[in-house]
Amino acid sequence: MGRVSGMSDLVITLYTIVVLSLVVNIGISLYGVFTRPSLVKKFICLTIFSDTLNSFAIAIGFRRVSDTYPSIAVLSSVPEELSELATFAETAVDPVPQALVLTAIVIGLAVYMFLVGLIVMYYRHYKTTHVRVVEGGSVG
Amino acid sequence: MEVVPISIAAIAALLSVVATYLAVRSRDMLAAVVFSAVQSTAYALIYYVLMAPDIVLVYIPVSVGILPAVAVLLIKKTERYES
């Protein structure tokens, strides 16, 4: 691996900032899931944790190509010859993690709806969303 | 040319860290839902820079639209402030 250009170090530093921020987000959201007593707050933190793991899956499939980077993928042209197709295959990102994340987002939405139903049933039974009511018999 | 989009991704990632911290620490559940939506918007920007525009097309209606709406309904059915 050689250096692509003079700006390569800055780009790598910025990309490292993105990945480290995702790691910090995992820590904060897991802290919220483990320590917050309210079930609704646990639900919100769980959605953040799930989104962060999906972001890691996308970051695995990402490949940085300096020449074609600023062209946005939605507006790119359709390849007409086989040589253009080979060039496209050399410069495209991996689509398999994106398909997996697309499926994970939709399945996660169904799981979240199930959790919302469970939290509503919990509130109707115990008149609170505080989890320590069930453990100790009183709030606190 | 290449530095601009990845700097947008880095700024969005730092914003998402701040939004996640505020969402965990706030006592008001509605404020936590709003901060969670801000975090989801920052993640959508990161996905767009990482060349996943199809994920953005699904992720914005799900995580900025449906999930905060359902969470607000859940807060209305249960309780707003964390004791």
CATH number for the domain running over A8-65+84-136: 1.10.287.3510
Percent of all residues in chain B with a pLDDT value above 90, rounded to a whole number = 72
SS3 A25: helix
pLDDT tens track for A39-87: 999 999 999 999 999 999 999 888 776 665 655 555 556 667 777 777 7
Taking the domains of chain B in order of start, what are their residue ranges?
Answer: 3-77
Please report residues of A whose CB lies closer than 8 A to that of B75.
Answer: 40
Per-residue burial over A74-111, b if 16 or more Cβ lie within 10 Å, else e, is: eeeeeeeeeeeeeeeeeeebeeebbeebbebbeebbee
- Indicate if the pLDDT at residue A89 is higher than 90: no
What is the band of A10 on the pLDDT scale with cuts at 50, 70, 90?
Answer: confident
**CA distance, residue B25 to nearest chain A CA (Å):** 8
The model's pTM? 0.86
SS3 A52: helix
Percent of all residues in chain A with a pLDDT value above 70, rounded to a whole number = 79
Mean pLDDT across the stretch A105-134? 90
Of A15, A105, A128, the CB nearest to B6: A15
B75 touches chain A (CB under 8 A): yes
Contact B13 A51 (CB under 8 A): no
**CA distance, residue A81 to nearest chain B CA (Å):** 23
Residues 6+ apart with CB under 8 A from A90: A65
**CA distance, residue A83 to nearest chain B CA (Å):** 22
Name the more confident of B3 and A21.
Answer: A21
Percent of all residues in chain B with a pLDDT value above 70, rounded to a whole number = 99
| ipTM associated with this complex | 0.93
pLDDT tens track for B51-71: 888 899 999 999 999 999 999
Taking the domains of chain A in order of start, what are their residue ranges?
Answer: 8-65+84-136
Considering chain A, what is the average pLDDT of its residues? Answer: 82
pLDDT tens track for B38-53: 999 999 999 988 888 8
Cα B9 from Cα B32, distance rounded (Å): 23
pLDDT tens track for A101-116: 999 999 999 999 999 9
Residues 6+ apart with CB under 8 A from A107: none
SS3 B28: strand
